[in-house]
Amino acid sequence: MIKILILFVTLGFAQENNNHEIIYFESANPFSFEEIITDLDNQERQEVFGKLTLPKNFDKNSKYPLIIGVAGSLNWGPHHLEYMKMYHDLGFATFELQSFDSRNVKSTVGSQIEVTAAMMILDSYLALEKLSYHPNIDVSKAGITGWSLGGTVSLYSAWIPLIDAINDGKYRFAAHLPIYPACLAYPYPDESMVFSQAPIHILIGELDDWVPASACTNLLDKLNKSGLPHNIGITIYEDAHHSFDREMELTTMEHGYTLGDCFFPMNDEGTLFLSEFWSIPINSPTMQKLALLTCAGRGPTMGGNDEAREQSFKFAADFFMNHLK
């Protein structure tokens, strides 16, 4: 038994019990999408881990579809784990990506710089690559979902320039479910608006002032006007705020950003710019802070909405059952 455990740890698979494993893999710390696309080999290396859960009473000779979950800027919360349990009960293998704990960060609410969407997208794809070697995982039927910052990861992990820059595009997700993502970057010019043709669906609240639904509808409008094919849909829940699927009273997060009118063009190398006319790159923590001063405020609200919560859980279950099972 000791020899078996040593072998699993050596390979990056640490057995917790019969259907839980802690998976370790090497990632890196790119601040921006640009650093993934143009300079990935020179980024600081980072060990990352996550928790793999296989279905109860799983058959050791079978492979299972996989859902990777990505937390928001408050790290993992109870409602995130409820989704993961639901997927597990439906017969999926699940992987709770621990991008924050791996970097000893508890929250990025007030800054959004210590752990970025770029880091977490890279983590997600390298986790997928790592799990491709697991005997019970079918990575051809792998989906990704996330909330808030993790929703942003779930959305932009479908952007082709990022996919191609990581592992030469060898590993891809078969379905993307971003839940209240920040849709604040739009590929520019139009020919850069190339997303995976895997199904992608955004769930977001009508009253979300942390990551406004208007940015997501603007992104879809630009995609539609570009004439390029895409497979992105959106559901906007009425009277729902940020974290509508969380069981909590409406609360003001004083140090969080309200992203308001933030909507930045992004070229095919992943460089964000202040606007289409002001070609000032947003490619560092300092420039990001300055850019947010032009469009963002502070003090977003978050809290649950029972109807939206029920509908989002049902949509999530149906979405992955339809596209991965």
* Averaged pLDDT for residues 102-111: 96
Would you state the pLDDT for residue 167?
87
Q: Which pLDDT score, from 0 to 100, does residue 7 have?
A: 38
Token pair of 184 as six digits: 């604040």
Residue 286, C-beta contacts closer than 8 angstroms, at least 6 positions apart: none
Q: What is the pLDDT of residues 57-96, one digit of tens each?
A: 899 999 999 999 999 999 999 999 999 999 999 999 999 9
pLDDT bucket at 3, cuts 50 / 70 / 90: very low
Q: Kindly tell me if the per-residue pLDDT of 9 is higher than 60.
A: no
The pLDDT of residue 278 is 86
Please give the full DSSP string across 35-68, using - where no structure is assigned: HHHHHGGGSPEEEEEEEEEPPTT--TT--EEEEE
| Pairing state between β 64-70 and 93-97 | parallel
Q: Which of 190, 156, 180 is nearest to 79 (CA)?
A: 180
- Rounded Cα distance, 238 and 214, in Å: 13
Largest CA distance in the chain: 63
Tell which residue, 17, 51, 53, has the closest CA to residue 5: 17
Give the pLDDT mean for 253-262.
94
Cis, peptide link before residue 30, omega less than 30° from 0? no
236 alpha carbon, distance to own chain's centre = 18
Q: What integer pLDDT is reported at residue 161 of this predicted model?
A: 96
Please determine, for residue 220, whether its predicted confidence score (pLDDT) is greater than 60.
Answer: yes
Q: How confident is the model over 162-187, as a mean pLDDT? A: 96
pLDDT > 70: percent of the chain: 95
pLDDT tens digits along 136-145: 999 999 999 9
Instruction: Select from 87, 275, 269 the least CA-distant residue to 184.
Output: 275
Q: How far apart are CA 155 and CA 120, in angstroms?
A: 12
Please answer whether residues 95 and 120 qualify as being in contact, where contact means their C-beta atoms are separated by less than 8 angstroms: no
Comparing CA positions, the residue from 172, 146, 136 lying closest to residue 243 is: 146
As a whole number of angstroms, the distance between CA 325 and CA 314 comes to 16
Q: What per-residue confidence (pLDDT) applies to 323?
A: 98
| Closest residue by Cα to residue 175 from 52, 75, 65, 25 | 65
- Residue 193's pLDDT is 92
- Give the pLDDT mean for 207-226: 96
Residue 4 has pLDDT above 50, yes or no: no
Mean pLDDT of 9-18: 54
Tabulate helix, strand, coil % of the chain (nearest 5). 35, 25, 40
**Alpha helices for 132-255 (secondary structure H):** 149-156, 160-165, 213-226
Reported as a single tens digit per residue, the pLDDT across 142-155 is: 999 999 999 999 99
* Mean pLDDT, rounded, of the chain: 94
For residue 166, is pLDDT > 90? Answer: yes
Mean pLDDT of the region 123-134: 98
Question: Do 97 and 122 touch, CB atoms closer than 8 A?
Answer: no
Using 50, 70 and 90 to split pLDDT, how confident is the model at 219?
A: very high
Task: For residue 24, give both structure tokens.
Answer: 């370790």
Residue 8, pLDDT score: 41
**pLDDT exceeds cutoff 50 at 266:** yes
Among candidate residues 208, 196, 154, the one with its CA nearest the CA of residue 177: 154
pLDDT at 18: 76
Question: Mind listing the pLDDT tens digit for each residue in 21-64?
Answer: 999 999 999 999 999 999 999 999 999 999 999 998 899 999 99
pLDDT of residue 180: 98
What is the per-residue pLDDT for 15? 54
Confidence of residue 169 (pLDDT cuts 50, 70, 90): confident
The torsion angles phi and psi of 80, rounded to 5 degrees, stand at -60, -45
Could you say which DSSP state residue 224 is in?
H
- Checking if the pLDDT of 12 tops 80, the result is no
Percentage of residues in the chain having pLDDT higher than 90: 90
Within 10 angstroms of residue 236's Cβ, the number of other Cβ atoms is 17
Domain ranges of the chain: 2-249+304-324
2-249+304-324 CATH, one of 2.40.30.10, 3.40.250.10, 3.30.1330.10, 3.40.50.1820: 3.40.50.1820
